[in-house]
Structure 1
Amino acid sequence: MSGLYRTIFVLLFIALLGSSCQSGPGNRYELVYSMEPVSSSGHSAPQSTDEPQRKYKIAFVPKGTEIDYFNYAAQGAQEAARNLGVEVLFRGSTIADAGLQIEAVERLIEEKVDLIAISANDPVKLVPVLEEARAAGIKVITWDADTLPEGREFFVNMVDPEVLGRHLLDTLASTMGEAGNYAIMTGSFSAANLNEWLKWINVQQREYYPDLNLVATVATDDDRDKAYEVANKLLMDYPDLNGIIGNSSVGPPAAAQAVKEAGKAGSVKVVGLSNPNLMRDYLHEGSAQVATLWSPKKLGYLTIALACNYLNEVLPVDGQAVEGVGIVRVNGDMVIMGEPLDFNAENVDQYDF
């Protein structure tokens, strides 16, 4: 068999393989690139089937355990855990705080988990403790929000950052008639993913919307109460405000509530990243116009599936099919799950998360 046909045969065979993080019936899961070792001669290397694989322990660390978005992600992570036969620990602080997150990782190092998957509150501050974890033999990946590359092996991202940032500005511009004053409510000025989206929001405005004017960018610290206070202050400080973008899940519902109470529903447009269950009533009432997100459950599921692969020495591959998620893209050391999804008054009732 020629080298070309042998390669095609191996790839087709790989696509039919099932795998799990634990041996035994009832724990099978299709992973397209869960492949057996191949020797330098091109033949499959022998593998031992006598020793059952032990059950891995994976720590799934959010920015904050009481933020709805991360609880939905945790549901997907636990579903993956059941399907793959691993143990998933949902650990972290109740609020988004880098110092508290560092403490959580330190405890996980003491527990000797097999892998830490973390949504980082700070891309720089988390690196030393994650390097400590890796030195202790614990594998580390990031999801939702990244660290510097030395802190982890790869990053599981929801969408392409440029696509998302530009898209958020487009949704606001379309509701405002491409003119007027707007503000941005971000979660934290230290979160890498939020800062990347902010960058592309600003680039899109400069390149395509000269009649839009950004008056303020303010942080909510991913706290519901602070987000509501920030939104009210924006409305008071800028009486001629025409729109608000929230780029973390607590921002848009807080902005919509403040706009509603101020009697400015419809005159101050509200768009941004949040889940449909939080935004449903506001979209129907007209105090918000568009909510954008992806499935956080799928993100949690994908993270655990890729973590399981990594524990078995298999890294993500561009075009990889993950059951229950779909085809993922890989750009360098970043996995991209899919495209953003918009919710409005017409379609929001089709979703429940």
Structure 2
Amino acid sequence: MNKKWSGLLSLILSIGMLAACGANAPSSAPSGTSSGSSSGAPAKQPAAQPEAPKGNAKLKIAVVPKLIGIPYFNASERGAKKAGEELGVDVIYTGPTQADAAQQVKVIEDLIAQKVDVIAVAPNDPASLTPVLKKAKEQGIRVIDWDTPADQSLVEYSVHQIDDEVYGRHVTDLLVEKMGTDSAQIAVLTGGLSAANLNTWIDWATKQAQEKYPNLKFVGDKIASDEKQQVAYQKTLDLIKANPDVKGIMAFSTPAPLGAAQAVQEKGLQDKIAVVGTALPTDSKPFLDDGSLDVATLWDPEKLGYLAVAVAKDLVEGKKLTDGQDVPGVGKIQVKSDGKTIIMGPPTDFTKENAGDYKF
């Protein structure tokens, strides 16, 4: 009897141990969980969402200008790097050496490979960048634009220097004021024909001329200068030779007004041709001083570079930007009703009298 009960007890203990092991083992498809479905097919997992770096890792924010090596984007680089130091993020400021969309795509491909957290880009040609920016987003990289709009379906914030309509109309008003007449032949010089911001300003400048100054006559189409002062200079010489009665030139992109002024200066036409455009005060001063450039109108590109980094940091950290918000190092910003478009502030006009007061 003792052997019988001893065997029975051993059997009971063995069954209990097996039951306990089964209870602790993971089930391949427990009812009511996301590890499977009633058909036995694996459930679709939610897409990975980008997150801010954990622990002591710094955010990597890439700022991509249209090109590097010209004064305007050199100034925005100083602002972006200053923001990186003050806001505690790593800033990579890199771009093509020419205003070329294909080169810019290669730069962004490299940044994707580096697994940066944010790409802030000023496109040379928005459409050309759409595929590579889409690729960046698919890999969890946040995308914003600055200086020039990109594909708006891909960016989470669009950082503008100024209100485009106000700015474009203002340039036309400046030209008429400096010509001293609203009945004249005028020309438009630009940087690149595909640059969205330049084209938008030109469209509003043209609309202002049509609505307010119907006696202005545009000579030909807008003239591209490839973001190079020397090209703008040569194109302006050609313009003057072909159109000796032209009285005014509005030039968009920071090298363009300088090249136009250089041509006017060389020909001694300061009193016959008015030139206004988007240029830095330090670069403009020699031409403003002798009257070959009547007025330059712009904003502080250092602040724009700073703002691009600040916006990128807030985006990753989930901080919502608000209209009228005071951004340290920049000032109060405007956020439009779409919640995406950010405007840094109104432009500043630089003249012979005040250009020396600025350091950019």
In the alignment, structure 1 residue 315 sits paired with structure 2 residue 320? yes
Counterpart among 286, 300, 309 of residue 305 in structure 2:
300
The aligned runs of 1:63-102 (5 Å cut-off) are 63-102=66-105
Instruction: Report the number of matched residues.
Output: 303
Superposed CA offset, 1:224-247 (max 9, x none): 222222111111111111111111
Unmatched 5+ stretches in structure 2: 1-53
- Give the CA deviation at 1:54: 2.2
Matched with 1:26 is none
Matched with 1:347 is 354
- Matching residue's letter, 1:161: D
Superposed CA offset, 1:109-144 (max 9, x none): 011111100001112111110010011111110000
Check whether the contact 1:114–1:139 (CA below 8 A) recurs between aligned residues: yes
Partners of 1:263 and 1:70 lie apart in 2 by: 31
Partners of 1:212 and 1:148 lie apart in 2 by: 34
In the alignment, structure 1 residue 337 sits paired with structure 2 residue 344? yes
TM-score normalised by the chain length of structure 2:
0.82
- Give the CA deviation at 1:179: 2.3
Partners of 1:304 and 1:351 lie apart in 2 by: 23
Superposed CA offset, 1:254-302 (max 9, x none): 0000001011112111101000011001001111110000000010111
Matched with 2:230 is 225
Matched with 1:145 is 148
Check whether the contact 1:259–1:265 (CA below 8 A) recurs between aligned residues: yes
Matched with 2:189 is 185
Counterpart among 180, 188, 201 of residue 197 in structure 1:
201
Superposed CA offset, 1:195-250 (max 9, x none): 11011001100110122111131111212222222111111111111111111101
Check whether the contact 1:185–1:219 (CA below 8 A) recurs between aligned residues: yes
Partners of 2:201 and 2:149 lie apart in 1 by: 13
State the structure with more CA Rg: 2
TM-score normalised by the chain length of structure 1:
0.84
- Give the CA deviation at 1:52: 4.1
Q: 1:311 to 1:53 in 2, by over 3 A?
A: farther
- Matching residue's letter, 1:213: K
Partners of 2:81 and 2:302 lie apart in 1 by: 9
Structure 1 runs of 4+ aligned residues shifted over 4 Å read: none
Partners of 1:223 and 1:134 lie apart in 2 by: 32
Counterpart among 122, 125, 147 of residue 122 in structure 1:
125
